[in-house]
Amino acid sequence: MRRIWRAALIRHPRDVTACRMTLRWYRRDRRMAEGRALLSRLYPDATENPASALMMLHGLAELHAESALDSIVTGCLSRNPDAPELRNAYVHHLHARARYVSALRVLRGIPAEQVQFDPAFLQDLGRKAALLSTLTPDPEADAVPHVIRALARLCPPLPADWAKARVSFLSGTLGPGGAERQMTRIACGLFGDRPVDVILRRADPGGETDFFAPDLIRAGVPIYRLGELPATVVLPMRVRQLVDLLPQTLQSDALRLAGHYRHTRPAAVYLWQDGAVLAGALGALLAGVPRIVASFRGMPPVQRPELLRPHMASAFPVLAGLNRVRLTANSTPGARAYEDWLGLRRDAVAVIHNAVPPVASISPKAPSYWRGIHRASPACHLTVLGIFRHDRNKRARDWIEVAARLLRDRDDVRFVVLGQGSDHARNLQRVRDLGLATRIFLPGLCRDVPAALARSALLMHLPRLEGSPNALIEAQAAGVPVLCTPAGNAAQIVGHGETGLLLPRADRLDIGETAAILATLLADPQRLTRMGEAGRRRCRALFDLDTCLARTRAVLDGFQMTTRRMPSP
């Protein structure tokens, strides 16, 4: 679809729908830089021409590139103050971003007969701008962080039933990702000694986004869909006025969560991944939840712009300053990166490393998908495994090219990637084009990952950016050596030269060099065996599930953790 919309936009560069849909697909495919480059090529005169600036506004809004959008539009308006269509569109955009005072100022530059808003909208904008002005003198202010500050004063934490210490998790989905896998493990682990529930912001019952739901159901953990929770909650007038300053979707989600939290009375809410933090924290503040814990996974959105959303940069530091809020990350590099982004003191973000449970015994009978792979490649007695999404960040295409390079010289090795993603179909076609469909296998999502690890000689992982990848931990726990880039926390997870090898850098990948290193590893079975045993020992020492649960309980219950630093690689 991205190609279809892009072709439409190239033919009709002034078509707003084509522009928005094209750039929306670029964001979904995590190709933000390419999207911005396309806009720059199509509208090089955007700072001078209001019509081009209008198209840039629509495109950059889809990419959530707020700073660039503001710079281009305000620059164009300074040169073209009489540009009513651009002004109207910018007013609408600023209103949606909860920048009401800014929107009112831009509106005042439009002649009355060219204003495109009805009286109700104008009255609402004036009321919100006036209320926001009582919270801050900043004429460019985003209302969300100021609402958070005010709610923290007006909605003090209620006494919690610490005997029960109920925990309510909030996440986007239960899809087949590393963060979702960890959240499921922790929720199931905590359920043994306290009440736990999980709320999902997006859900597709029985679909890919419910991949880990069966695990929670087997453990008895209740699952709620945010959209099915009632959005009605009684609030004092002043609090209701503040809530009305929030953007509509954020407001609706916060009210649904507040009602649920008031009913269930959790001692703590546990908000997983950046996208869940604002709605979850606002709902918890409204309900008087005494403990709010945010779990950041990977690197901050400033390094992964496809994940950046409005209000994050302005509101996260305000949340971090509240006594009842605790921020956590799953790696030391990730924690330090969030502190740098948000301007927080060192160690403001606590580190709770990912964990794996003890490796269960593996059935001698291979799963059906694996039997099919084996039948298609009977001469291969070594398997190189990949466990990742098919996208540009994970370098799925480069992984295939490394495999193809090695297969020029080896006829006894197969390559298998478990995972789906936006590039899966294109990568399947690439394998067919290479004539390697009986040597490189891309079966998609597979639930029985341990069975695949038990039948693999090595795991290869080549991402640009990472947090604390579960695949590396789980491979080593299963006695499988790894070859990976040093992205994210990889250098702390992998004992370089001991449990696997780290490539020289993560920002660039040399296909030939990587294939040569892989060939050297596969040529020494005894070394692979030694690395596998060392990996098991390392995971037992550093990524024990009981230790992870103990540190999680300490944060949720409000105690200061003693920082446990991981050894240098």
335-356 average pLDDT score: 92
Q: Cα separation of 541 and 535, whole Å?
A: 10
CATH architecture under which domain 2-143 falls: Alpha Horseshoe (1.25)
Indicate if the pLDDT at residue 467 is higher than 50: yes
**Residue 564: pLDDT band by 50, 70, 90 thresholds?**
very low
d(CA 132, CA 481): 56
pLDDT at 1 over 80: no
Q: Please, what is the average pLDDT of the chain?
A: 92
Fold match flag (151-351 vs 368-542): yes
pLDDT digits (tens, 9 = 90+) for 484-498: 999 988 998 999 999
Rounded mean pLDDT of 282-298? 95
- 269: β partners: 168, 292
Say which residues have a Cβ less than 8 Å from residue 343's Cβ, sequence separation at least 6. 317
Residue 361 has pLDDT above 70, yes or no: no
Segment 526-549 shows an average pLDDT of 92
CB atoms within 10 A of CB 10: 13
> In this model, does residue 562 exceed pLDDT 70?
no
Other CB atoms within a 10 A radius of the CB of residue 236 amount to: 10
HSE-up (13 A, CA, CB side) for residue 427: 29
In the chain, the amino acid numbered 238 is: R
Q: Residue 357: its pLDDT value, please?
A: 79
Under a CB-based contact definition with an 8 Å cutoff, are residues 554 and 561 in contact? Answer: yes
Band (pLDDT 50/70/90 cuts) for residue 359 is confident
- CA distances for 536 relative to 104, 383, 526, 542, angstroms: 61, 19, 16, 10
Residue 560 has pLDDT above 50, yes or no: no
What would you report as the CA-atom Rg of the chain, rounded to the nearest whole angstrom? 26
Q: Which amino acid is at 25?
A: W
Q: What is the domain partition of the chain in residue ranges?
A: 2-143, 151-351, 368-542
State the pLDDT at residue 561: 42
User: How much is the average pLDDT of 284-311?
Assistant: 91
Name beta bridge partners: 502. 484
pLDDT score recorded for residue 217: 94
Mean pLDDT, rounded, for 356-363:
73
pLDDT of 243 > 90? The answer is: yes
d(CA 305, CA 299): 11
Q: Residue 115 has what pLDDT?
A: 95
Instruction: Classify the C-alpha dihedral 466-469-436-211 as positive or negative.
Output: negative
pLDDT-derived band at 559 (thresholds 50, 70, 90) equals: low
**Buried (b) or exposed (e) across 129-139, using 16+ Cβ within 10 A?**
bebbeebeeee
Extract the tokens encoding 272.
């997983």
Residue 563 has pLDDT above 80, yes or no: no
Which of the four CATH numbers 3.40.50.11930, 2.40.50.100, 1.10.274.10, 1.20.120.80 does domain 151-351 have? 3.40.50.11930
* Out of 65-74, 370-379, 469-478, 555-564, least confident range: 555-564
Which architecture characterizes domain 368-542 according to CATH? 3-Layer(aba) Sandwich (3.40)
Contact assessment for residue 294 and residue 319, using Cβ atoms and an 8 Å cutoff: yes
SS3 233: coil
* pLDDT for the residue 567: 37
- Average the pLDDT over 317-346 and give the result: 93
* Percent of the residues in the chain that have a pLDDT greater than 70, as a whole number: 96
* Mean pLDDT value of segment 78-90: 96
Average pLDDT on 162-185 reads 89
Neighbours of 428 (CB within 10 A): 17
What does the pLDDT average to over 311-340?
94
C-alpha 501/C-alpha 248 separation (Å) is 49
Rounded Cα–Cα distance for residues 72 and 50 (Å): 10
The stretch 84-90 carries a mean pLDDT of 98
Separation of alpha carbons 268 and 166, rounded Å: 7
The predicted-structure confidence for 2-30, as pLDDT tens digits, reads as follows 789 999 999 999 999 999 999 999 998 88
> What would the pLDDT profile of 104-139 be if each residue is shown by its tens digit?
999 999 999 999 999 999 999 999 999 999 999 999
pLDDT of 376 > 90? The answer is yes
